[in-house]
C-alpha cells in the first residue's frame, strides 16, 4: 500500500500542474516530500498542507530554476532536513514558442539554463550523497522526438538534452544501484496547456486515445519508476502520451 515509506523525495517545480500531482502521488505512496517553487508561494504552501495531511513530512523551498545555485541550495536544504535524499524528480522547466530567426541568444540561454543547466545542477549535487536504491527521474517532453508545429526548436533541443544526459547518467550511476530515467509527457491538461485551448482540438486529432492526459497520469508513472519494482529500469525514455507519438 505504501511502497515508498521511509523514502525522502524532492520534486522541483512542485507547486502546480504535473509537479504538484507528482509530489502528492509520492506522498500517497508513503514518501516524505519537499518541493521547490519559483513564485507561487501560496500554491506551494497549499500543496505542502495536502502532503502533510497524508501523515508524511512535507515542506517547500523557493528556488528559481534560472539560477543553478538556487537549485543546489534547495537540494542541500532537502538533504539537511531529511538526512538523505532517495528520490529526485526534476520537473521545473520553461516553455517558449518562437520560430528560428525570431529567437535571440537570450532566449537560447534562458531555455538552456532553466531546462538543462538546473537539472544538471540538481543531479550533480544529489548524487554526492545518494545511496543504493536511489531514483532520479527527469520530466522531459515528447517534443524531444516529435515537434508537430513550428516555433518549438529551442524547447525540443532542451528536452532532447535531458534524454541524452539521462542515458549518460544511467551509465555513471548504475554500479551504485541508482537508476536514472526520463518520463516524456505528451499533451497534458494543465493551466499552462489546458485541454480547452485553441490548439487542443488539433492536438487531440493526433492523440491515439483522442484526449489530453491528466497530471495524475504522469504522476502514476513517476511513482512506479520511483518504487521498488522498477530497479531494472534505467537509462530509459518513457513516453506517456496517449499514443501522440505512435
Q: Which residues are catalytic?
A: 155
Q: Which residue is associated with the grid cell 505542502?
A: 48
Cα–Cα dist 65/122, whole Å: 10
b (16+ CB within 10 A) / e for 40-71: beebbeebbeebeebebbbbbbebbbbebebb
Kindly state the cell numbers that stand for 10.
Answer: 524532492
Measuring CA to CA, which residue among 51, 152, 52, 150 is closest to residue 94? 152
b (16+ CB within 10 A) / e for 109-135: ebbebbbbbbbbbbbebbbeebeeebb
Amino acid at each position: 500500500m505504501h511502497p515508498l515509506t521511509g523514502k525522502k523525495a524532492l520534486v522541483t517545480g512542485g507547486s502546480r500542474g504535473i509537479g504538484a500531482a507528482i509530489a502528492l502521488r509520492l506522498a500517497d505512496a508513503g514518501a516524505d516530500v519537499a518541493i521547490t517553487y519559483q513564485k507561487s508561494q501560496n500554491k506551494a504552501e497549499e500543496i505542502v498542507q495536502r502532503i502533510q495531511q497524508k501523515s508524511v513530512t512535507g515542506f517547500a523551498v523557493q528556488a528559481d530554476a534560472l539560477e543553478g545555485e538556487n537549485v543546489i541550495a534547495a537540494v542541500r536544504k532537502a538533504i539537511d532536513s531529511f538526512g538523505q535524499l532517495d528520490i529526485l524528480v526534476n520537473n521545473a522547466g520553461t516553455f517558449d514558442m518562437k520560430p528560428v530567426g525570431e529567437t535571440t541568444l537570450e532566449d537560447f540561454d534562458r531555455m538552456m539554463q532553466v531546462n538543462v543547466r538546473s537539472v544538471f545542477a540538481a543531479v550533480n549535487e544529489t548524487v554526492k550523497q545518494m545511496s543504493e536504491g536511489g531514483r532520479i527521474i527527469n520530466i522531459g517532453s515528447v517534443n524531444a522526438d516529435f515537434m508537430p508545429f513550428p516555433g518549438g526548436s529551442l524547447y525540443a533541443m532542451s528536452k532532447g538534452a535531458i534524454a541524452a544526459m539521462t542515458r549518460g547518467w544511467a551509465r555513471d550511476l548504475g554500479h551504485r544501484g541508482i537508476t536514472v530515467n526520463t518520463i516524456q509527457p505528451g499533451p497534458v491538461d494543465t493551466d499552462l496547456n489546458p485541454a480547452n485551448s485553441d490548439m487542443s482540438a488539433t492536438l487531440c486529432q493526433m492523440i491515439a486515445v483522442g484526449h489530453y492526459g491528466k497530471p495524475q497520469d504522469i504522476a502514476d508513472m513517476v511513482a512506479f519508476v520511483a518504487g521498488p519494482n522498477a530497479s531494472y529500469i534505467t537509462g530509459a525514455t518513457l513516453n506517456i502520451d496517449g499514443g501522440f507519438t505512435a
